[in-house]
Structure 1
C-alpha cells in the first residue's frame, strides 16, 4: 500500500474510533429503582419508585443477583462494603444504606464517587479499617486506593448483602435495582439485575 493510501486508512480508522468513543460517552447511564411488574423473555417492566413505568431491555447473557437483609453487627474490619452517605453537621458523613460485599467481590468499584440516591450523596466502596461504637451507632473508617472516609451508621440504616438468585426471582412486586444505559426509544438496556429476596427492597 502506498503512502497516500496508508494515510487515508489511518484517518478513516481514527474517525471511526472517535465516533465510537463519542457514541459510548453519549450513552446516558441511568439507575432504575423500583418493583417488577412483569418479565417477558428479555423485556423487564418495572414500576420505578417515583411511579414511572420503565421498560428494561435485558442484553444477551444477562444475569441476576440477589439482595438479602443483613445487620450492622455483621460488619467486621477487613470487610469490603459499599456505603451511600450524606454530609452531616458533625463533619462525618451519615450512612443512607450499606451493602456488605461477599469476599469474592472485594475490590468491586473501589473508590468514592457522587451517588444519586439522595441529594448530595456519595457512594464509597472500600475496606473497613476499624469501627468505633457510639450512642449514634458505629462509625466506620473506610480505606480505598487514594483515600479514606469516616461514615457513621445511624440506627435503622438499611444493611444488606449479596447472594445468588435466579430469573424466577423476578416476580411481580419484587424490588429491583438496575444500572444500564438509556436508549433512543426511552427503554433502558442492562446486563444485570439485582433483586430483593424474601421481601427485601434493594436500598442502593
Structure 2
C-alpha cells in the first residue's frame, strides 16, 4: 500500500512539474493567463504571466467573451455571477473578484469548484444566481448554485467586471486574456473558451 501511494505521489509530481500543458490529476480549474503576442489564423501565441511562450489553437467552437470594467453596484439580485473566492472558517466565501455575466450568458459554468487563482493558490470558483443581497460595507450576498446556496462577502475594493459575448476581433497583440482548454490527441493545446480584456483591462479571474 505504501509503495502504491509513493508511486502515485511521484506520478502527480511529474505531471505538475511539466507546467500548463500537463494533464491535471485533480478537478481543480486551472486557467492559463497571459498576454497575446500574435494571432495568425487559428494560432494564437501568448506570453503567460509566468513568462512562458505558449501557442494555442482556436477552433470553430472556441467561445470568445469580452471582459470590461464594472462597478460593485452592477451586482444585483437575480444577476448570474461568478466569483473566485477564499473559503472562510464559518463556511462563507470572501470574494477575490466578481464577474457579472451578460443575461445572454446566464448559466455559464454553473457550479462550485476548486479554482487556481492568479496568485497560484487553490481557492474556489462559484457560478450561480444572486439571491438575497445586503448593501452594507461592500456586499454580502447569497448565491444559488444548482441545489446549493453559498454566502459570499464582497469587499468594497474587490474588482468587478462584466462578461459579455465577444468576437475574435478582440484577440489582438497586447490583449490580456484568460484561457480554458486542453490538449488534443496530437498534443496541441486547444482553447475551448477565451476571455479577453477590453481597453487594456486585465481580467481579474
Above 0.5 in TM-score? yes
Match of 2:203 in 1: 202
Runs of at least 5 residues in structure 1 that lack an aligned partner in the other structure: 1-25
Deviations 1:22-73 (A, max 9, x none): xxxx965852111101101111001111111111111245442211111110
> C-alpha distance in 1, partners of 2:61/2:71?
32
> C-alpha distance in 2, partners of 1:62/1:128?
27
1:115 aligned counterpart, secondary structure: strand
Are the aligned partners of 2:85 and 2:125 in contact in 1 as well (CA < 8 Å)?
yes
> C-alpha distance in 2, partners of 1:192/1:77?
27
Match of 1:110 in 2: 110
Are the aligned partners of 2:175 and 2:200 in contact in 1 as well (CA < 8 Å)?
yes
1:148 aligned counterpart, secondary structure: strand
Runs of at least 5 residues in structure 2 that lack an aligned partner in the other structure: 1-21
Matches within 5 A, 1:43-122: 43-89=43-89, 91-117=91-117, 118-122=120-124
Work out which of the residue numbers 120, 124, 127 in structure 2 matches 1:125. Answer: 127
Q: TM-score, normalised by structure 2?
A: 0.78
> C-alpha distance in 1, partners of 2:155/2:116?
20
State which structure, 1 or 2, has the greater radius of gyration over its C-alpha atoms.
1
Matches within 5 A, 1:185-200: 187-200=188-201
Match of 1:143 in 2: 144
Runs of 4+ in 1 over 6 A off after TM superposition: none
Are the aligned partners of 2:95 and 2:158 in contact in 1 as well (CA < 8 Å)?
yes
Q: CA RMSD in A?
A: 2.3
CA distance 1:141–1:30, shift in 2 (3 Å): closer
> C-alpha distance in 2, partners of 1:109/1:145?
11
**Shift of residue 187 of structure 1?**
4.2
> C-alpha distance in 2, partners of 1:120/1:27?
17
